[in-house]
Chains A and B, each alone.
Chain A
């Protein structure tokens, strides 16, 4: 039982990171109907920024500055490469984001160099005791920070003018425009928020093990998370991320014992299996909005 709970906490920790990334995907999708494949590059850029700034400003300030910096980068990307494409098919814009991902990663790789870079986090591999459980402190940090960010984000959407504008634009762009909502500002804000969250996620990915040029691949795990949770649901993104993290962690710990016939390392594909099962049962994800199409 102790092992199971420790496994679940590890899963929730890693799942929090996937949730932050998934939130970025969903926020941009809700505002623009585009899946932004630039998230992996923004995540990596955030982690690299922290690794450079931590030695100068201290770790916590470096995280804040890096997240703001990457939010700024995301804003710039949106203004330069995405805004001119408004009105074009979303598929085309999604492909453009793939290109942006490659370009940003090439630039960021130059800053990473060929060795592993450390983000200078205070957690390392230290462990803490939670009653009888012994867990890594960085997992708790991931979980706690994600909980705070998600709470703030939901409060922002519910209680602020810009949050309301974003919800209105997501619901019906034309009507929102007619009511005086600046849809352009909503697009920009969604990219900025996604960049901010990706940078925090990147920093957490780098804790303990550091970052290297291939670290961006982790961000792809947010894709099954958003499908599981529902492409247009913020709550779904959080739930999806946590589910993916926990499922992966459980497979890592127990598959060898209970289902060795699945072969070694089934944990890698387990999020995609969950995604397929959810798609079969609920095609719009656990919390996604069912689309009604007139024929």
Chain B
């Protein structure tokens, strides 16, 4: 009997630990310096040792979390981006930027995210990357309290209302609205189902799909599904039973492949449009590949790896020899607003967290070197009125480097055009 108790106790501990409930204590903050993360000493791998250094932190899903396949390329692309900036003279001719010294793994766990953020926050001016919506939500209060500007690696609509977050590209809510509008125009569906993970990634897109479905007078159903390819049985059953004409997917790539592959095998013939993170080029080697080619399209906030813009070209040149992945593309694009804000801060003379935040608040456009329209970088108004609303639709193409090519270039659907953002979408699902 004792061993039975032991088993149950250990099983509970293992489960709680796996779910991230049991973790070590957080480290407290260690007190701030005058201008944290800015030194007159050169960066560790400085191009020009006469310049000072601005340190930016990175908190990303680098090893075992569900988005590691995207997060590692995002982080590598940003290292390459800032190396290119430094080679080209740095920031205002006075500083170079280091994003290599304070890189931490969040394991896509909000608790861990907060813990590792606390470890580095006194050493950095801002964050070059804070990956994930629920994870960043765990530190947003502290970012605001300390005026720490951060570039997110997620597209939730909550960031439209936070002036310390410099988001790039449309949020999941807009993306799903545009996807439904695109499908209405192309496939004339009568019913739409949102199959999504819980929280401000999945629910944000589902809320957008719901708004667009109501506007287009489509019947809407909402199926929340857990993460994990083997856990998709219910989502598959709901799709094959209800046979919606259109499914908006907001899951991880393995989940998406399982859902599309198994429903297609069961005879489902409707259309799937998945948000950006539902795609991974490795899915072309999976048994779901024929179904993905036949039924699936990817909505995206930016153009894929192969696109012909100066920004994409610079990225490809800065990352020779890598296996192409649109994590690189997103990571590279996310860095432009931070560069624009740093330039403005240094030229304004107030090199500090407050100076950087003040610079962000005056940015009405950002030069993305053609990767995104300049108006995507409008941070002067955090009320929701300036929300960027253009997204693309990609189709699966096994000849393309990252497995997708553009099916419809940047567009705004009528739903997103007319929608008034007065709060994060996911709260309204």
Contacts and interface: CB of A to CB of B under 8 A. Distances in A.
Interface of A: 7, 10, 14, 29, 33, 35, 37, 90-91, 94-95, 98, 109, 114-116, 118, 121, 124-127, 134, 136, 205, 208-210, 212-215, 217-218, 220, 223, 227, 231, 248-249, 251-253, 255-256, 264-265, 267-268, 283-284, 291, 293
A126 B265 CA distance: 7
Interface string B214-242: 00000000011111111101100110000
B221 to A, nearest CB: 10
Interface of B: 1, 3-4, 6-8, 10-11, 14-15, 18, 63-64, 66, 68-69, 72, 223-231, 233-234, 237-238, 253-254, 257-258, 261-262, 264-266, 280-283, 285-288, 291
A252 B72 CA distance: 34
A207 B66 CA distance: 19
Given A98-B14, A127-B265, A208 B6 contact: no
A77 to B, nearest CB: 18
Contact of B4 (A94, A208, A231, A248): A231
A115 B233 contact: no
Among A29, A91, A212, A249, find the residue whose CB has the most chain B CB atoms closer than 10 A.
A212
Contacts of A91: 6
A265 B14 contact: no
A109 B228 CA distance: 16
A94 B5 CA distance: 12
Contacts of A283: 1, 4
A252 B234 contact: yes
B18 A253 contact: no
A114 B229 contact: no
A214 B228 contact: yes
A210 B18 contact: no
Contacts of B254: 116, 209-210, 212
Label chain B's interface by main secondary structure.
Answer: helix
A118 B69 contact: no
B3 to A, nearest CB: 6
B153 to A, nearest CB: 15
A95 B228 CA distance: 26
Contacts of B228: 214, 217-218
A252 B66 CA distance: 23
Given A116-B283, A220-B18, 12 more contacts: A35-B10, A37-B14, A94-B7, A95-B10, A116-B286, A125-B264, A208-B258, A212-B254, A217-B18, A220-B15, A265-B234, A283-B1
A85 to B, nearest CB: 15
A119 B395 CA distance: 26
A213 B64 contact: yes
A210 B286 contact: yes
B7 A118 contact: no
B253 A116 contact: yes
Among A91, A210, A284, find the residue whose CB has the most chain B CB atoms closer than 10 A.
A210
A94 B10 contact: yes
Given A37-B14, A114-B68, A127-B265, A218 B230 contact: yes
Nearest to B18: A217
B229 A209 contact: yes
B233 A291 contact: no
A136 B265 contact: yes
B266 A127 contact: yes
B363 to A, nearest CB: 33
B282 A116 contact: yes
Contact of A114 (B10, B11, B72, B265): B72
A190 B262 CA distance: 36
